[in-house]
Amino acid sequence: MTYQYLLFDLDHTLLDFGAAEDVALTQLLEEERVSDIQAYKAYYIPMNQGLWRQLEQGKISKAELVESRFARLFAHFGLEKDGSYLAERYQHYLSQQGQTYPAAHHLLDSLIDLGYDLYAATNGLAPIQRGRLAASGLASYFTDIFISEELASQKPEKLFYEKIAKKIKQFDPSRALMIGDSLTADIAGGNRAQIDTLWYNPAASSNQSEIKPTYTVQNYDQILDLLTGLQ
């Protein structure tokens, strides 16, 4: 199989969301004069992940997620806060975070040298994702950047990929590869759109689900070796 269009997930694939989230949360909680920051983080992170899973499953809307998560966080500790205001402050801090995984730049440089066309395909809020891409120095690698908020659709919805296909000139799904860390978003979405998928699985997690990627790798070298060999 010869690919031309590489659709890259961002968070947990190229961008280090964990590092970005930690800094942004610290800045927000310090601004709110929280004394036990670690306790707040310990509650917020799994709660937030659960909300994103509900969003992927269509159980809540993006607005519900964004506007409720910080109000829920502070309510857990007995405080009533304006969730919308806190969301704006958090988004401000998060949009400034450009942490990438080691060798992300080298991977993208190498793929461009091999002649691949690179695109970002990410769920998230547009100001945050565009701000982080700019801060990371990765934005210039991508021919175009597709963000769920701007497409009014999100992974794993088939519509997300259909809209991308319309925006890429002469797009051929048989020559496209979706690369990402999430089975339920990236891989399931690519499967629904009949696009081949590459599961980036650095933790070597077992896949007990019915979602099957075309390829599975554990590091960037394996991505590069695979795509070099497929040319």
| Residues carrying an active site annotation | 9, 11
How far apart are alpha carbons 2 and 89 in whole angstroms?
44
DSSP state of 35: S
Chain-centre distance of CA 185, in angstroms?
9
Amino acid in position 164: I
Alpha-carbon distance values, 49 to 30, 44, 69, 145, 154 (Å): 22, 9, 10, 24, 16
Q: Pseudo-torsion of CA 183, 88, 30, 124, nearest 10°? A: 10
